[in-house]
Structure 1
């Protein structure tokens, strides 16, 4: 490993830094999504929607106590602000949750793009150095020239390896975030429909209307 770092030249240092950052973020994101999956409780989400359909708001609060499910947090935020703007409250909470899910993705995507470019740059620098040697020594020592080109290709191989090994988990994390966004939209819409159905049936009166009628 140390031999490859020395052979690849000074551009192996930023490539090594990219690999370290990529590995660290991949581990962090993997732990994050494992925790999300562990806390996922679809039956509790359906229970909240069922209780909301019956208007049992206090029971919802008891049912979700201790839950760390991100969908539950969004639904509860909407329920707490149901008398004002349920949809905007859930939209704000969903934005916060999705921001957490997409954290560091820009860094990983940058590494996917930059690593191979650094590798190609290292190869170009190495080839330039090899041709300088060819101009200085002529063709009397071809092994020095070909050896320099072979060493120059090390940076390209390293850059491509880092990019490929970062791209796969990066795409997976993005897919998880997209799937979570669809789930949020699905359950938030269900809660809104349930609440509007009760409002249209006259079972719910907006908070502002209650205050006006109470002041008469």
Structure 2
């Protein structure tokens, strides 16, 4: 079997060497990304996420920050970074942290994208060089049959190898992209939920401040509905995000 593979590789001509290099690069990236996503699945902590959302819904920002701090879950790392900077550039902190997590998740995918395009082109180049080699011997009756068939075999082998590498690389590339899109959704949802939760907490703190003389006279009646409305809205949003 090994001899057959080696013989076929040699018959594919010199272009098989760069095709082999692309296949090794694709296998290396696929193995590395598969390992990364397996570790990502093991690091995900949905229970801790739910605990953070519940603490924020009840106004316990410190408890939420403690639950998210030091977590290996990428979503919780983004939440923790945002809570650490909630009094300063909150949105910028969330965006920067989310961008860093997405950069880790999408690492080397551009390499697979290039290989998917490059491998068939290398196979096509092998087709051209094989046909050129075959036509060099057209007209020489003594060696024409053997060498022409060898050139055609080189063209077909190179084409088949390039197409096979592109197709086999396309499947994991599509899977990794789908996982990246899903992670992007979860990070966006987490950022929105944190922003809504902190906004509701600020409203609650304002409405629960010591009553002034005007509110004591009854002017605070319309404002007391604000905390309940904010709490109901954040409860709906956080419950939806936790279920997702």
TM over 0.5: yes
The aligned residue for residue 184 of structure 1 is 187
Q: Which residues of structure 2 form unaligned runs of 5+?
A: 208-244
Q: Which of the residues 99, 105, 111 maps onto 2:103?
A: 99
Which residue in 1 is equivalent to 2:172?
A: 169
Distance, in Å, in 2 between the alignment partners of 1:37 and 1:96 is: 18
Between the aligned partners of 2:146 and 2:71, the Cα distance in structure 1 is 66
Q: Does the CA contact (< 8 Å) of 2:56 and 2:198 recur in 1?
A: yes
Which residue of 83, 87, 92 maps to 1:83? Answer: 87
**1:42-57, aligned counterparts within 5 Å?**
42-57=46-61
Task: Count the aligned residue pairs.
Answer: 203
Give the corresponding residue for 1:59: 63
Which position in structure 2 is the counterpart of 1:208?
Answer: none
What CA distance in whole angstroms lies between the structure 2 residues aligned with 1:119 and 1:139?
29
Per the TM alignment, residue 65 of structure 1 is displaced from its structure 2 partner at its CA by 5.0
Q: TM-score, normalised by structure 2?
A: 0.78
For residue 12 of structure 1, the aligned residue among 9, 16, 28 is 16
Secondary structure of 2:177's aligned partner: helix
Partner SS, residue 10 of structure 1: coil
Is 1:130 the counterpart of 2:147 in the alignment?
no
**Residue in structure 1 matching 2:205, options 202, 206, 214:** 202
Which ranges of 4 or more aligned residues in structure 1 deviate by more than 6 Å? none
The CA distance in 2 between the partners of 1:139 and 1:197, in whole Å, is 89
TM-score, normalising length: structure 1: 0.88
Matched residue, 2:34: 30
User: Hey, what does 1:148 align to over in structure 2?
Assistant: 151
Query: Which structure has more RCO (C-alpha within 8 Å, separation ≥ 6)?
Result: 1
Displacement of 1:59: 1.9
Q: For each residue in 1:69-90, what CA deviation from the matched residue of structure 2 results, as whole angstroms up to 9, or x when unmatched?
A: 0000000111000011222111
CA distance in 1, matches of 2:205, 2:61: 17
